[in-house]
Each structure stands twice: as structure tokens, then as C-alpha cells.
Amino acid sequence: MRAISVFVPEEIKRLITDGAVFYVSHSGGKDSQAMYSLIKKVIPDEQIVVVHADLGEVEWEGVQDHIKTYTDHEVNVVRANKTFLGMVEKRGMFPSAAYRQCTSDLKRGPIFKFIRNDLKQRGGTIAINCMGLRAQESSSRAKKKAFSYNKMQSVNKRVTRHVYDWLPIFQFTTEEVFQAIYDAGQKPFWAYEKNERLSCVFCIMGCVNDLRHGAEQRPELYKRYVELEKKIGHTMFMNGKEPVPLEEHVGVKVNA
């Protein structure tokens, strides 16, 4: 196995010297945890800011304590002015892999809002948005670039703000991610004992194994998802064009 470290492109080295602020998005998941532990080795402490998008009731309980346990920096918690279940009910539909309104509204939006405000308060002009996305996760993620200029979030008029997206562990395998966590003397969040992925307890892209574990650990929340499907007449999962109720998909009956 190769030495676990992040590759720092020349461009990033130059941006460190130019005083860029590195905003580390930390979900509490293994990828964020590994990314943070490795970034700390290559980016000066005073140029790192940690931010967590709080998903509220649909987040795993204790995930914020987990982040704080293994983070030396202050953890800035941001929250959207809507909830996952409220958003689904209002729209009458669950998000899908092709239309991930949940990620944009509940995570990306609040995080970028925080970055804009925080950078302004610091009097800074360069922000690096660090995310723990990996090519191995999906074919669409594999097409992303590990380092890119974020035109949408940048401005160069009366106000100057340059924002870059950096995926420091883009080429990592799952084994390397866990290795980086253990090398740092840390443990991954407890739910990984059974889960493959973390974030929302019931993710629209979650595998049956993770959803079943969620139903075991959070039966009340599971019931709310099942009831919401019935209320809006739309299911989280489909089989081709056929809707598949969550209870059927997961194989766990509410109140069973």
C-alpha cells in the first residue's frame, strides 16, 4: 500500500502562500475524517476552517460529537432554513440521484453561504472548498476534477472572491481512507461497523444494508419516511419506472 498522504498541486502551494483559507467540509463520514487528518499535515493550522452542514433530525445521532472529538479546529455548524422531510413534503417528491436537491439545498448552499460570509469577515479573497469526494464512489464522481476554479462562487467586480474546489482524497480507495483514519490514531464513526456510507440515516442513494441498519437504529424516523411516502404518493426508490415502497425495498415493516 502506498504511503497515505494527499497530493498537493503546485497551484495549491501558491494559494497557501497567497493566504487562501481552506474550508474543510466535514460530514462526520470516513472520507471527511480522513481528508481533515491529512490536510492538517500540509496546510497551516491558521488557514484551515472546518464546517459541518447539520442535517437535523435525519442525521445520525452523535455525529457532531464525533467530529468534535477528532477535530482540533472549531467546528462551524451551518443549517439550511428547511429540513429534508419538510422539503420532500413541500415538493411532493423525494430527491433522486439525478436531481439531488437535498445536497444542494441542505449541504452545498449553507456551506457556500458560510464560506462567503466568513471569508468577508476575515478580509480574505481566496477560498478553497475542500471536499472528501472520491472517484471510486461512482462513475459520475470519477468524471470530476480534483482541483478546479469555481466560477459560480467567485466574483471579481467591486468585491473580489476567488473560490476553488479541491478534492484532496479524490484518488483514494476505501481501504486507504480507513487507513488514513487509523494512522491518525482515530476511529471512524460507530455506524460504520454496519454501514458502508454515512450522512442521512436514510439516503436516497443508500444501499439496502445501510437503510436496514438505519431502520434498526432509528425506528421512529423510519416510520416517518414510510408515512411520508404514503402521504405524498411518491416513493424514495423505484424499480425502473415502478415505485417501490420503502418497507418493501428495505424489507423491514414499520412496528414489526
Residues found near ligand SF4 in the complex (CB under 6 A): 95, 100, 102-103, 106, 199-200, 203-205
Q: In angstroms, give the least distance from the CB of 132 to ligand SF4.
A: 13
Q: In angstroms, give the least distance from the CB of 245 to ligand SF4.
A: 17
Q: Which of 124/132 has CB closer to ligand SF4?
A: 132
- SS3 of 140, please? helix
- DSSP codes, 153-203: T-EESSSEEEEEEE-TTTT--HHHHHHHHHHTT----GGGGT-S--SBSS-
In angstroms, the CA 112 to CA 175 distance is: 30
Q: Which of 40/223 has CB closer to ligand SF4?
A: 223
Q: In angstroms, give the least distance from the CB of 198 to ligand SF4.
A: 8
Cell output for 187:
476511529
In angstroms, the CA 25 to CA 130 distance is: 6
Q: Which of 28/168 has CB closer to ligand SF4?
A: 28
Q: Which of 119/201 has CB closer to ligand SF4?
A: 201
Q: Which of 125/225 has CB closer to ligand SF4?
A: 225
What does residue 165 show for φ and ψ, rounded to 5 degrees?
-105, 130
Q: Which of 138/173 has CB closer to ligand SF4?
A: 138
In angstroms, the CA 201 to CA 190 distance is: 13
In angstroms, the CA 1 to CA 172 distance is: 11
Q: In angstroms, give the least distance from the CB of 236 to ligand SF4.
A: 9
AA identity, residue 87 = M
Q: In angstroms, give the least distance from the CB of 140 to ligand SF4.
A: 12
In angstroms, the CA 197 to CA 171 distance is: 17
Q: In angstroms, give the least distance from the CB of 102 to ligand SF4.
A: 3
